[in-house]
Structure 1
Amino acid sequence: MPAMDPEQLAGLTARARRLATADGPPARRLLGLAGPPGAGKSTLAAHLVHRLDGLAVLVPMDGFHLARAELLRLGRADRKGAPDTFDAAGYAALLRRLRAPEPGTVVYAPAFDRALEEPVAGSVPVPPDVPLVVTEGNYLLHDDGPWAPVRALLDEIWYLDLDDRVRVPRLVERHVRFGKDRAHAQAWVERSDEANARLVARGRERADLVVPG
């Protein structure tokens, strides 16, 4: 997560709480956290949901990674994490469903298991009475192809802007922690993750809030 002081974290939590408790339609609001790989999106999202005491559920975009078998079939396994290695249309469809909760109906969202490096369906229950969904991922501000509708489906998007000198080494360490040897991790970050990071950065100006690291 970006190196925030307690006051900054408290301010972000308060902003998310205002979104969750705002009067009037819609019945549920959606908050997105965007930013390049390694910026701390999942950590901040988990912090917010924990601090909101039952007012929010975390639904990660990464649950819409295509399975490895499908990436191999498509010839995209060596670019895993690029925009076309996700089911973007499926993600947008889920966001539409989450925006209009049906009484008595729990929506089940997928998650991504980093140990398996695979999406896992039906992992995240979203009860109909939860007023805020927090979602996080690289491409919430991407405006190309099937990603284009996502921006309008989110009530707010925050862009996490972490210095590359902190973000890139952290990203390498994350790959090592989940099983890549260090040389492979470094090469993957330089070739794949940083190409994606440059693409993600193009959406920065479309965010409602830029969160500095």
Structure 2
Amino acid sequence: MEDQVNRLVSKTWGKTTLASLVASKLNDIHNERAPGCAHTPVAAFVPLDGYHLSRAQLSAMPDPSTAHARRGAAYTFDASAFLQLVKTLREPLAPETKVHYAPSFDHAMKDPVHGDIPIHPTTRVVIFEGNYLSLNKGDWKEAAAIMNELWFVEVDFAMARRRLVARHLKAGIAKDGSEAGRRADHNDLVNGREIVDDRLEVQEVVTSTEDVTWRAEAQMWE
């Protein structure tokens, strides 16, 4: 099973897909080896999207127009709240330890949903996923310092741009390819340059490619 995980890591093309599948497979392995403990997850997947500042918070900023246009930049996330969750999860487990909850993101409403992702006391591996987890700045750096490992999904900027344009069109963020391209060039790829240039040292680098063969293998896990 571990070999399957390694093969999938080398073939996957997106950090969200990679993180969610690794967490899912860890839980599958646990359930296979300890059938009496089924439905007690040992791995949790927590995307950083839930730490987006809300649209109301962006509107309250000194330059709300720029804040909304630059949504997705590091300063438009609640880094301090994320750091607090990481610190909380590092506290020793005790009989009275309760379920912790992380926020998710509602793409239809375009805002975070607080307390939506449970992290159970049985959880032993928490996989965070997001753009700024290895950023060498402020609260991001402090949070990274208390994690066990940092993995970085590396992608060619031209390929990233193609994916971003398609994603913005599919999500309805842009009305046409031209608008989607401008958003990618003036926001997403600007953020990407900061992420690459100010990256902390990481334990693993996964190269993201357009390898369609991983899809069939991923379906075997479902």
TM-score w.r.t. length of structure 2? 0.76
Select the structure of larger CA radius of gyration.
2
For residues 88-133 of structure 1, give each alpha carbon's deviation from its aligned partner in whole angstroms, at most 9, with x where no partner exists. Answer: 0110000111122454400011011222221110110110111100
Letter aligned with residue 132 of structure 1: V
Instruction: State the match for 1:69 in structure 2.
Output: 56
Check the 8 A contact 2:14/2:153 in 1, yes or no. Answer: yes
Distance 1:52 1:13 in 2: 13
Shift of 1:55: 2.4
Instruction: State the match for 1:23 in structure 2.
Output: none
Q: 1:188 to 1:144 in 2, by over 3 A?
A: same
Q: Does 2:48 correspond to 1:55? A: no
Distance 2:70 2:203 in 1: 29
Distance 1:118 1:8 in 2: 38
Instruction: State the match for 2:207 in structure 1.
Output: 212
72, 76, 99: which one pairs with 1:81? 72
Shift of 1:11: 1.4
Check the 8 A contact 1:45/1:134 in 2, yes or no. Answer: yes
| Number of aligned residues | 184
Check the 8 A contact 1:56/1:130 in 2, yes or no. Answer: yes
| SS of residue in 1 equivalent to 2:159 | helix
102, 105, 108: which one pairs with 2:101? 108
Distance 2:68 2:83 in 1: 23
| SS of residue in 2 equivalent to 1:148 | helix
Check the 8 A contact 2:98/2:120 in 1, yes or no. Answer: yes
Q: Does 2:11 correspond to 1:11? A: no
Residues 137-156 of structure 1 correspond to what in structure 2 (within 5 A)? 137-156=130-149
16, 19, 35: which one pairs with 1:42? 16
| SS of residue in 2 equivalent to 1:129 | coil
Distance 2:14 2:3 in 1: 15
Distance 1:123 1:9 in 2: 30
Instruction: State the match for 1:19 in structure 2.
Output: none
| SS of residue in 2 equivalent to 1:109 | strand
Misfit runs of 4+, over 4 Å: none
Distance 2:107 2:18 in 1: 18
Distance 2:89 2:17 in 1: 22
Check the 8 A contact 2:52/2:77 in 1, yes or no. Answer: yes
Q: Once structures 1 and 2 are overlaid, which stretch shifts more, 186-195 or 95-104?
A: 95-104
Letter aligned with residue 161 of structure 2: V
| SS of residue in 2 equivalent to 1:59 | strand
Distance 1:66 1:205 in 2: 24
Higher RCO (CA < 8 A, seq sep 6+): 1
Residue segments in structure 1 that go unaligned for 5+ positions in a row:
1-6, 15-38
Give % identity: 36
128, 143, 148: which one pairs with 1:135? 128
Shift of 1:204: 4.2
Distance 1:98 1:137 in 2: 18
Q: Once structures 1 and 2 are overlaid, which stretch shifts more, 191-200 or 97-106?
A: 97-106
Residue segments in structure 2 that go unaligned for 5+ positions in a row:
28-40, 209-222
Distance 2:200 2:120 in 1: 33
Distance 1:9 1:209 in 2: 17
Q: Once structures 1 and 2 are overlaid, which stretch shifts more, 186-195 or 47-56?
A: 47-56
| SS of residue in 1 equivalent to 2:152 | strand
160, 180, 186: which one pairs with 1:191? 186
Shift of 1:148: 2.3
Q: 1:86 to 1:9 in 2, by over 3 A?
A: farther
For residues 53-74 of structure 1, give each alpha carbon's deviation from its aligned partner in whole angstroms, at most 9, with x where no partner exists. Answer: 2321111112111001110111
